[in-house]
Amino acid sequence: MRLHVADHPLVAHKLTVLRDQETSSPTFRLLVDELVTLLAYEATREVSTESHTIRTPVAETVGTRIADPRPLVVPILRAGLGMLDGMTRLLPTAEVGFLGMQRNEETLEAITYANRLPDDLTGRQCFLLDPMLATGGTLVAAIDFLFERGARDVTAVCLLAAPEGLEVLEKAVGDRVDVKVVVAAVDERLDENAYIVPGLGDAGDRLYGVV
């Protein structure tokens, strides 16, 4: 597994406002959107490209375009949905699939309750969106799900990660270079309820309200 922590003053500034409990839902949503767009730039660094010949008003030239098959962006419901627009802004030709995963609050295990993905992901580059890499259970299950269907590589885009979750992921996928995690920050630890500390609270609740 390869980890990339986005080290940039704009990311640090926006993340601080995002964490603040005084930040309202509308501002929170806007900041998530902006942060994901910044993370998307890093996350797509290895997207497959091919040569493409075009004619400028002056001359013919060989440029670059994103190759087929199209990348697949997969928000993990519900909180990952708040990251979708920020990602597809930079990758508008990507296909979008959905995975509904929830952790059982007692066992902390991930349960898949919805799946809207192509059955065959052979050769596809996949981008998983999940704001909080806490215990790592959901992400490990989602990564397995994509590789079982033939994904070529998986990049998880997260806002915050806990060291405990990164360790679980590292144990599950080892040193596979086809798994990458891009995060805005790695926090201190998990608390007894598996919340990230200092974190930002429940990302889904802060995006959409408590339901």
Q: Note if 112 is an active site residue.
A: no
- Reported as type and span, the H/E element at residue 182 is strand 179-186
Q: Which is nearer to ligand URA, 174 or 209 (CB)?
A: 209
Cα atoms in the Cβ-side hemisphere of radius 13 Å centred on 144: 12
Among candidate residues 56, 107, 119, 120, the one labeled active-site is: 107
Of the residues 33, 85, 178, 205, only one is catalytic, namely 205
Nearer residue to ligand URA within complex by CB, 46 or 164:
164
Active site annotation includes 7: no
Is-catalytic flag, 49? no
Q: Which of 76, 151, 203, 207 contacts ligand URA by CB under 6 A?
A: 203
Task: Mark the segment that binds ligand URA (CB under 6 A) among 81-89, 94-102, 171-179, 196-204.
Answer: 196-204
- Please give the DSSP secondary-structure letter assigned to residue 122: T
Q: Which of 199, 207, 208, 211 binds ligand URA (CB under 6 A)?
A: 199
- Residue 145's alpha-carbon distances to 12, 63, 74, 120, 133, in angstroms, are 32, 35, 11, 11, 17
Exactly one of 20, 167, 188, 202 binds ligand URA (CB under 6 A); that residue is: 202
Q: Helix %, strand %, coil % for the chain, to 5? A: 35, 30, 35
Q: Which residues pair with 52 in a beta bridge?
A: 63
List 132, 154, 157, 158, residue binding ligand URA (CB under 6 A): 132
Backbone angles phi, psi at 116, to 5 degrees: -125, 80
Q: Whose Cβ is closer to ligand URA: residue 52's or residue 189's?
A: 189
Question: Is residue 35 close enough to count as binding ligand URA by CB under 6 A?
Answer: no
Residue 157 to residues 38, 51, 55, 104, Cα–Cα distance (Å): 11, 27, 35, 22
Q: Which stretch binds ligand URA (CB under 6 A): 35-43, 49-57, 139-147, 202-210?
A: 202-210
CB closer to ligand URA, 6 vs 139: 139
- CA count, 13 A, side-chain hemisphere, 126: 33
- Establish if 109 lies at the interface with ligand URA (CB under 6 A): no
Q: Is 27 a catalytic residue?
A: no
In which element (H, E) is residue 189 found? strand 189-190
Q: Which residues are catalytic?
A: 103, 107, 202, 205
Where does this chain bind ligand URA (CB under 6 A)?
79, 132, 134, 195-196, 199, 202-204
